[in-house]
């Protein structure tokens, strides 16, 4: 067995044991289904679907109709188990805990056949005291209950009134009652994603043993004092003191590059204790602030916090500290009713330009550090500065936020509630309270996070009556809404994080929503807050159809992913726009027809007699349509930032829906095929379908290599609109794509995400332009 033994703290003194030891239980576990008929090895962190696939017991879950074929996996009750030997002497430790950083989702935990606790929240961190049950050789079991069945039970037990929606629309092929379980909401299906309600241990699990005291949490917030014009740092540390006597000592906080070192005396009483430190940064020291991408540097400072405690116990934490301020400005605008809605970073108004982020995969164990870096680097390369972490997914892993800090990507952070009403019984609220408090502590130190938002679209769902609630019953649901997002989540944010603003929902009217009692009669108003806007019928080339709102936090259009992407999860019989497969993958009601309608407004639809050619051309055309629509709408919002027309405007943010895909299917994503559409600006004098004189362009490419980058020297025989470069399944990013080629030659760079060769690129390369269809 590979031992994962980490010596965390300094020795207490000569000839004594360490003050804390941590033993990881990552690695191989055993997994079995409910009736014991299926047993297999599985990795932790991981999930049952991944284990089954790795053992060859199921195909790729994304292949064809496997989201339906493998529904049985989510409906079974699986057990994770492991036997292990503790590599240190247990009797020498006063306290031993089992730490579970992430359990997905509902489980009973047995340690040496003794029930030590239960879990019901994918987003919480769990700690269980196992001091009295741990031995040298141990067994651990997590007996999972199907999240689908659990959600149904919880819904059935809520007999006082219905909490809608019961089920997703039939077109989504999903599971019901997801609002009754604290789990990734889109895992039960969404209008762009499949239903894979996973089970498993999705984050780290370990044993922690300690004497005297243990540092449970460590977090901090830089605070700027405007009146004194100086920076301060608030540091909060939570201890578990197991000594029977008070533990005294001192804390030394050092930030060398800011010439800051301050010492504090502390005394920790037995039990759970919180130490709060206030560090002042001298006015005489120049503090370089953190700026969003495109506005300045992302300067950070290395900090160490050393706790020197009685008995020679030293606890040291290291962190990178970033200094920045953020303000949400809601104030009257001359010539327009309502209020502004924009952000100041370090006192400077900034237009938020970017997209919405969804989980990068249905199976989180497949989301690697490399994938996150590549996706986030693509955001910066496309000149974006903001991502909204959408409330139907997950609170992302630590590395996501660390990369956003490093790259200068601002994060609009939703809490994980979306497109539903939610129960407010005490058990549910207790679980949410633990979740929110933990996530605030975990994330508040990141300068990239500029706002907390209570939910996605739930204020609008309630007040626009998505679920056909009778007028007489509405006060019940408004009361529940205020209880959950205002009296609980908002209060936790105000108590735990004073460094960034909070809004109850998105979209919302902000201050106006507060004035109306926390729910607004029209949460999508153009005069307040943010809006979500979707219109698939109006001509997207006509900028007059778009709302001149204060902030557009969602908007977009569907397209199909490239054929090279679909080819990997389909068979030849699936390759037509009206095939069973194509209809199955479309989770948005009427989506395929809407795409063709919008494309047909300005483009001739494919008419080839070859069905495969027609399918490929149709896919390509939906992508061109999407790119043009999003481009037109985004430019409209950007122009509206500096003007008031007919009392509307001063738009200070545009976040299109959505950046990334979760599987190979039609969606609103711009990154699928690992390529980002970022065309150069141009203007058409007429719709392309009315253009005269377009000749079929013969486009050739000579590929050469310069280090890790490949150079594509293109040459065309005629003007070629919407040139699309495709290298099949080779992951990477072109410097430009979907462009208008008016000159005879053009050079494009390709940045591969994995090692590849010139020969592989030449074999996979394919180029398409609008003239191939016309």
Active-site residue (options: 20, 396, 435, 554) = 554
Backbone dihedral region for residue 421 (phi beyond 0: left; psi -120 to 50: alpha; all else: beta)? beta
For residue 730, what are its two tokens? 């080779």
- In the sheet with 699-706, reading across from the earlier edge strand, the strands are 699-706, 709-716, 745-752, 732-734
CA-nearest of 81, 78, 80 to 34 is 78
Instruction: Give dist(CA 411, CA 737) in Å, integer.
Output: 26
Question: How is residue 567 written in tokens?
Answer: 């080819």
Report residue 403 CA to chain centroid gap: 13
Cis peptide before 526 (omega within 30 of 0): no
Which residue's structure tokens are 């917030």? 221
CB 288 within 8 A of CB 337: no
Q: Where are the beta strands (DSSP E) in 57-173?
A: 79-85, 95-100, 103-104, 106-111, 114-119, 126-129, 137-145
Dist. CA 459–CA 518, nearest whole Å: 9
Instruction: Check if 554 is active-site.
Output: yes
Q: 3-state DSSP: the chain helix, strand, coil percent, rounded to 5?
A: 25, 35, 40
Q: Which residues contact 290 (CB under 8 A, 6 or more apart)?
A: 297, 298, 299, 300, 322, 323, 324, 405, 408, 447
Concerning whether 567 is annotated as a catalytic residue, the answer is no
- Three-state SS for 187? helix
- What does the DSSP assignment read for 646-677? TTEE---EEEES-SB-SSSS-BS-SEETTEE-
Distance CA 698, CA 717 (A): 5
- DSSP bridge partners of 44: 27
Alpha carbon of residue 206 to chain centroid: 25
Q: Which residues pair with 208 in a beta bridge?
A: 22, 97
Alpha-carbon dihedral sign for residues 185, 191, 192, 195: positive
Catalytic-role residue among 457, 460, 512, 633 = 457
d(CA 467, CA 583): 26
Cα separation of 356 and 661, whole Å?
A: 11
Half-sphere exposure for 307 (CA within 13 Å, toward CB): 28
CB 186 within 8 A of CB 392: yes
Of residues 79, 80, 74, the one with CA closest to residue 26? 80
CB 654 within 8 A of CB 552: yes
Could you tell me the two tokens for 175?
């599971």
Active-site amino acid positions: 457, 554
């Amino acid at each position: 067995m590979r031992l994962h033994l980490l010596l965390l703290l300094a020795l207490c003194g000569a000839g004594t044991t360490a003050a804390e030891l941590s033993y990881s239980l990552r690695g191989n576990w055993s997994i079995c289904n409910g009736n014991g008929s299926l047993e297999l090895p599985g990795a932790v962190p991981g999930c049952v679907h991944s284990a089954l696939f790795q053992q060859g017991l199921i195909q790729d879950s994304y292949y064809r109709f496997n989201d339906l074929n493998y529904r049985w996996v989510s409906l079974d009750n699986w057990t994770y188990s492991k036997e292990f030997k503790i590599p240190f002497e247990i009797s020498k430790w006063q306290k031993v805990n089992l730490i579970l950083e992430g359990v997905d989702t509902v489980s009973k935990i047995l340690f040496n056949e003794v029930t030590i606790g239960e879990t019901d929240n994918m987003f919480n961190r769990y700690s269980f005291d196992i001091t009295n049950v741990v031995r040298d050789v141990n067994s651990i079991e997590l007996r999972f209950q199907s999240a689908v069945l659990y959600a149904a039970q919880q819904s059935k037990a809520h007999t006082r009134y219905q909490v809608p929606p019961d089920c997703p629309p039939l077109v989504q092929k999903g599971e019901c009652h997801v609002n009754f379980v604290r789990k990734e909401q889109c895992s039960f299906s969404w209008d762009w994603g499949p239903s894979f309600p996973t089970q498993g241990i999705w984050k780290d699990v370990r044993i922690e043993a300690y004497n005297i005291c243990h540092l449970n949490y460590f977090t901090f917030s830089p605070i700027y004092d405007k009146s004194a014009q100086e920076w301060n740092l608030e540091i909060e540390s939570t201890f578990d003191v197991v000594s029977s006597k008070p533990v005294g000592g001192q804390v030394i906080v050092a930030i060398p590059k800011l010439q800051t070192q301050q010492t504090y005396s502390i005394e920790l009483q037995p039990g759970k204790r919180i130490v709060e430190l206030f560090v002042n940064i001298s006015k005489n020291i120049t503090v370089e602030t953190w700026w969003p991408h495109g506005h300045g540097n992302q300067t950070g400072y290395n900090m160490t916090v050393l706790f020197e405690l009685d008995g020679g116990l030293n606890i040291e934490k290291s962190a990178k500290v970033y200094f920045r301020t953020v303000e949400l400005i809601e104030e009257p605008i001359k010539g327009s009713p309502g209020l502004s809605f924009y952000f100041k970073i370090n006192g400077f108004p900034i237009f938020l330009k970017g997209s919405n982020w969804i989980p990068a995969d249905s199976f989180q164990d497949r989301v690697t550090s490399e994938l996150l870096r590549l996706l986030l680097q693509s955001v910066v390369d496309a000149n974006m500065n903001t991502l909204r972490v959408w409330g139907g997914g997950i609170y992302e892993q630590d590395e996501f936020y660390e990369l956003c800090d490093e790259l200068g990507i601002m994060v609009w952070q939703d809490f994980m509630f979306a497109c539903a009403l939610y129960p407010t019984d005490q058990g549910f609220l207790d679980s949410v309270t633990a979740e929110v408090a933990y996530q605030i502590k975990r994330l508040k130190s990141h300068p990239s996070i500029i706002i907390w938002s209570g939910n996605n679209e739930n204020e609008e769902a309630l007040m626009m009556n998505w679920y056909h609630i009778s007028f007489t019953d509405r006060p019940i649901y408004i009361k529940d809404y205020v209880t959950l997002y205002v009296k609980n989540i908002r209060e936790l944010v105000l108590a735990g994080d004073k460094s960034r603003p909070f809004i109850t929902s998105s979209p919302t009217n902000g201050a106006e929503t507060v004035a109306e009692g926390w729910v607004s009669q029209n949460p999508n108003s153009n005069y307040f807050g943010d809006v979500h806007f979707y219109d698939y019928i109006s001509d997207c080339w006509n900028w007059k159809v778009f709302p001149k709102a204060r902030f557009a936090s969602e908007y977009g259009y569907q397209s199909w992913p490239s054929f090279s992407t679909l080819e990997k999860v389909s068979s030849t019989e699936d390759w037509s726009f009206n095939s069973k497969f194509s209809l199955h993958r479309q989770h948005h009601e009427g989506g395929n027809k809407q795409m063709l309608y919008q494309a047909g407004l300005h483009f001739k639809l494919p008419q080839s007699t070859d069905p495969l050619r027609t399918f490929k051309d149709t896919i390509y055309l939906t992508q061109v349509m999407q790119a043009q629509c999003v481009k037109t709408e985004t430019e409209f919002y950007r122009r509206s930032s500096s003007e008031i027309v007919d009392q509307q405007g001063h738009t200070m943010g545009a976040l299109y829906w959505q950046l990334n895909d979760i599987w190979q299917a039609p969606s609103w994503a711009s990154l699928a095929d690992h390529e980002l559409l970022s065309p150069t600006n141009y203007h058409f004098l007429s719709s392309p379908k009315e253009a005269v004189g377009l000749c079929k362009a013969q486009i050739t490419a000579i590929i050469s290599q310069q280090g890790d980058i490949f150079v594509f020297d293109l040459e065309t025989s005629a003007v070629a609109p919407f040139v699309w470069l495709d290298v099949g399944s080779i992951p990477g990013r072109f410097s430009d794509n979907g462009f208008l080629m008016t000159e005879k030659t053009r050079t494009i760079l390709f940045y591969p995400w994995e090692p590849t060769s010139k020969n592989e690129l030449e074999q996979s390369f394919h180029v398409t332009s609008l003239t191939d269809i016309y």
